[in-house]
Amino acid sequence: MTPDMVIHLGSQALKMVLLISAPMLIVGLVVGVMISLFQAVTQIQEVTLTFVPKIIVVFVSMIVAGPWMVRTMMDFARHYFDLIPTLLN
């Protein structure tokens, strides 16, 4: 196994982490911006107003995107488990 192969495997793993976490991050960002706009317009500065809706929406997005996330992780793991015999040369 060469250093280039290790770097490639690591970069692929990081890309997979970003891909899998993207739905929750994007939904949390959108809801956060909407809540911030609401707070700016109404001048309500309640700290819990930002956290509770974000937690709920991120949890729901995890439930909705969960099957896709698991399938993507399983395909990634299966692909690299199949590569193990070639990596040992």
Residue 7: pLDDT above 90? yes
- Mean pLDDT on 24-45: 91
Read off the tokens for 71: 């399938």
Whole-angstrom distance, CA of residue 9 vs CA of residue 7: 5
Handedness of CA 38, 42, 47, 48 (dihedral sign): negative
What is the pTM assigned to this prediction? 0.77
What is the distance between the terminal CA atoms of the chain, rounded to a whole angstrom? 7
* pLDDT tens digits, 44-59: 888 788 888 899 999 9
Whether the pLDDT of residue 71 is over 80: the answer is: yes
Number of H helices, E strands in the chain: 2, 0
